[in-house]
Amino acid sequence: MLQTPLLSWIFVVLWTFLQLAHGLTFFPDNAVFVAKAGTVSLTCDSATTGNVNWVFIPHGDVQKIPLKGTERRLEVAYEDTPELGEYSCWSGETKLWSAHLVLDAQDTRADSMLNCRAKSYNCSFNCHWSATDYTAVRLGLGKDCSENRKNCSWITSSSQQHPGQGFMFELSNSLTPSMEETTRIEVTAEAMNDYIFHRTYKTFFLRDIIRPESPKIVQCQEVGHQLNVSIEPAASWSKPHSYFKLEHEIEYVSRHNGKNIISESHLIPREISKLRVRSREAVVRSKWSEWTPWRHVNL
């Protein structure tokens, strides 16, 4: 039977292998970002003195490669793509310091990978990183994050990545209703893909990303030869509803000719087979909500 120390050692080895083989699934505190060509200088940041040995573990491997030189400063020069991976300095069998060399892609196209949506004018909204080939993604709000300050509060994904679905985030802002009119929200996104780093930004007013959830059909009441359709906003919509107004569309199928007709009026013909509704914010004319499920009408 395996002893506990041996099991722990096996777990550490397997975990390290998975991180290296499948790309970083976290943002290392000791990352060093480099461009596609140039020289980077690494300094063994340790309280000890004297010469050290340098070791390199390439991305996608677990084998330690000894490097030439025993000075505390290591110069890594490259003409095209640098040797990405973990560089570490050692004193005998003791690891003194390490850094992950990561390629900064400087790719502005990453902006299209981030989309945000608010269900209401409340304090929270959701963002979706749609690209699926990333191993770690995080978001930050405000200038502390956009200017890469140390006191940025990064937000990790609120749901684990699923194949083909990217990363989902839930964020909260501290804007008051009066500030929402004039203050833009600033979102910074950082993503890792096999030791390749992407950074992008989005700014918007909260009203720009409003998209209500589907409303509720309360009842269909006969009024002569017509139906009066009563609609309620989704439970997540901002209150009071008299101030945060919604406008609705009703789509129905005529019994006479089977055609689909869309109406902005709550009064529609009685001779229909089914209907559904959707909503949007009335003042800024936000994106429409999803349609409700079809509701069959038997009158």
Report residue 127's pLDDT band, with 50, 70 and 90 as the boundaries.
very high
Equal CATH topology for 4-101 and 108-209: yes
The domain spans of the chain are 4-101, 108-209, 216-296
Report residue 267's pLDDT band, with 50, 70 and 90 as the boundaries.
very high
Beta bridge partners of 95: 90
pLDDT > 90: percent of the chain = 50
From CA 193, how far away is CA 25, in angstroms rounded? 9
169-178, 180-189, 263-272, range with greatest mean pLDDT: 263-272
Report residue 54's pLDDT band, with 50, 70 and 90 as the boundaries.
very high
On average, the pLDDT of the chain sits at 85
Contacts of 64 (CB under 8 A, 6+ apart): 55, 56, 57
Q: What is the pLDDT of residues 97-121, one digit of tens each?
A: 999 998 888 765 557 889 999 999 9
**pLDDT at residue 8 tops 80:** no
Lowest average pLDDT, out of 103-107, 165-169, 210-214, goes to: 103-107
Q: How many CB atoms lie within 10 A of CB 292?
A: 19
Q: Output the pLDDT for position 171.
A: 92
Is 2.60.40.10 the CATH number for 216-296? Answer: yes
Cβ proximity of 89 and 99 under 8 Å: no
Smallest Cα–Cα separation from 173: which of 241, 118, 112? 118
Structure token pair of residue 296: 């069959």
Q: What is the pLDDT of residues 13-50, one digit of tens each?
A: 343 444 444 456 778 778 888 877 778 889 998 888 88
Smallest Cα–Cα separation from 278: which of 252, 241, 296, 298? 252
Q: Output the pLDDT for position 14.
A: 40
What 139-142 contacts at long range (C-beta under 8 Å, 24+ apart), as own/partner pairs, is 139/114, 139/169, 139/171, 139/187, 139/188, 139/189, 139/190, 140/187, 140/188, 140/190, 141/171, 141/173, 141/185, 141/186, 141/187, 141/188, 142/186
Structure token pair of residue 49: 């003195």
Which CATH number is 4-101 given? Answer: 2.60.40.10
* Counts for the chain of helices (H) and strands (E), in that order: 3, 22
What homologous superfamily does CATH list for 108-209? Immunoglobulins (2.60.40.10)
Q: Output the pLDDT for position 237.
A: 96
Q: At which residue do the structure tokens 């107004």 appear?
A: 245
Q: What is the pTM of this model?
A: 0.75
pLDDT > 70: percent of the chain = 86
